[in-house]
């Protein structure tokens, strides 16, 4: 079964109209899975003719706002017409966030005013679950696997990356991360790797582009370690060692000199390198 992918958001916490917050929609047969729900996700789905109430599963990589701030919009706008369950999964904090929004506070005044309890039941959220590395989820023709990435670890939080396999292909979503065992494990032999890249083209040493640690200013490299984002060379190495067939770059901090970034990433690797864009569609398998 082919995997259809729609890139809904390929941006960062910076608000830009052409790059919404991190979000990708995966469609496999009649199953629709949403990975992350950053700002603009619901609007992007509407712009692409996707009925929100047809999405059955939402998985968060982590709980930074550029990955989850459209969660209530997606749930509430998708309420009308929903007949299929909506189940939500993510790292620690997913259950609390959902409860704060839809059960104990947040939007409960609105929900209780508009709808009866009977209508709310099963049409807002059917199930919410905090998950961790080793979690798997299966449909009739696919299997999803989670591992830990290395990004958001403050206060006991953690970040997840995901792989989806069918008989015809596989795709991996890194979330935000620096190189780590989790993403290396999931990426091994995948057809497509969708990976973030810390692209800050004007912060290189002596006018160079900061592709590598040696090219980057000390300030930039320190920032990449503090915020735990991968430099281009690191992403390239992961993709090359994993033997992926296609690398899709996302979470783009800058739109400047992207041709140079793509050129660098393509050199010395056999996989196809693609610059992610909002509204981009592609198939795996």
- Would you tell me how many other CB atoms lie within 10 Å of the CB of residue 202? 12
- Tell whether the model's pLDDT for residue 34 goes beyond 90: yes
Domain tally, the chain: 1
Instruction: Report how far residue 22's alpha carbon sits from residue 273's, in angstroms, rounded to the nearest whole number.
Output: 19
- Of the pLDDT bands very low, low, confident and very high (cuts 50, 70, 90), residue 84 is confident
**Integer CA distances (angstroms), 237 to 161, 190, 271, in order:** 17, 14, 12
- Of the pLDDT bands very low, low, confident and very high (cuts 50, 70, 90), residue 112 is confident
- Of the pLDDT bands very low, low, confident and very high (cuts 50, 70, 90), residue 122 is low
- Would you tell me how many other CB atoms lie within 10 Å of the CB of residue 181? 12
- Tell whether the model's pLDDT for residue 55 goes beyond 90: yes
- pTM for the whole structure: 0.96
Instruction: Report how far residue 68's alpha carbon sits from residue 98's, in angstroms, rounded to the nearest whole number.
Output: 11
Percent of the chain with pLDDT over 90: 89
CATH, residue 200: 3.60.15.10
Mean pLDDT of all residues in 92-99: 98
Residue ranges making up the domain that contains 250 = 3-284
What pLDDT is attached to residue 121?
53
Percent of the chain with pLDDT over 70: 96
What pLDDT is attached to residue 185?
98
Q: What are phi and psi of 220, to 5 degrees?
A: -70, -45
Q: How far is CA 121 from the centre of its chain?
A: 28
Instruction: Report how far residue 58's alpha carbon sits from residue 98's, in angstroms, rounded to the nearest whole number.
Output: 12
pLDDT of 172-213, one tens digit each? 999 999 999 999 999 999 999 999 999 999 999 999 999 999
- Tell whether the model's pLDDT for residue 160 goes beyond 80: yes
Mean pLDDT of all residues in 97-108: 93
**Alpha helices per DSSP H over the chain:** 41-47, 65-68, 71-77, 94-102, 108-114, 117-120, 181-187, 218-227, 232-242, 258-266
Mean pLDDT of all residues in 140-168: 97
For residues 225, 227, 232, 234, the Cα torsion angle rounded to the nearest 10 degrees is 50
3-state helix, strand, coil split of the chain in percent (to 5) is 30, 25, 45
Lowest mean pLDDT among 18-32, 114-128, 180-194, 234-248: 114-128
- Tell whether the model's pLDDT for residue 120 goes beyond 60: no
What pLDDT is attached to residue 124?
79
């Amino acid at each position: 079964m082919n995997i259809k992918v729609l890139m809904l958001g390929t941006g960062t916490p910076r608000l830009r109209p052409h790059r919404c917050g991190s979000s990708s929609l995966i469609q496999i047969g009649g199953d629709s899975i949403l990975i992350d729900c950053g700002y603009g996700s619901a609007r992007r789905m509407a712009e692409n003719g996707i009925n929100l109430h047809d999405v059955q599963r939402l998985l968060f990589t982590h709980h930074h706002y550029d990955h989850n701030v459209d969660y209530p919009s997606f749930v509430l706008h998708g309420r009308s017409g929903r007949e299929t369950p909506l189940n939500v999964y993510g790292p620690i904090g997913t259950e609390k966030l959902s409860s704060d929004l839809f059960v104990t506070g947040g939007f409960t005044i609105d929900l209780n005013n508009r709808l009866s309890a009977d209508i709310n039941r099963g049409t807002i959220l059917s199930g919410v679950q905090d998950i961790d590395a080793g979690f798997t989820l299966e449909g009739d023709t696919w299997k999803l696997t989670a591992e830990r990435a290395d990004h958001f670890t403050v206060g006991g939080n953690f970040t997840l990356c995901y792989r989806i396999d069918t008989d015809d292909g596989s795709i991996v979503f890194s979330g935000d991360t620096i190189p780590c065992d989790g993403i290396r494990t999931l990426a091994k032999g995948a057809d497509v790797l969708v990976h973030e890249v810390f692209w800050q083209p004007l912060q290189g040493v002596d006018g160079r582009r900061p592709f590598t640690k040696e090219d980057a200013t000390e300030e930039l490299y320190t920032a990449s370690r503090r915020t735990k984002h991968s430099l281009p060379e690191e992403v390239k190495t992961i993709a090359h060692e994993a033997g992926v067939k296609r690398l899709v770059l996302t979470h783009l901090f800058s739109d400047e000199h992207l041709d140079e970034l793509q050129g660098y990433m393509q050199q010395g690797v056999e996989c196809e390198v693609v610059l992610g864009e909002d509204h981009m569609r592609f198939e795996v398998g």
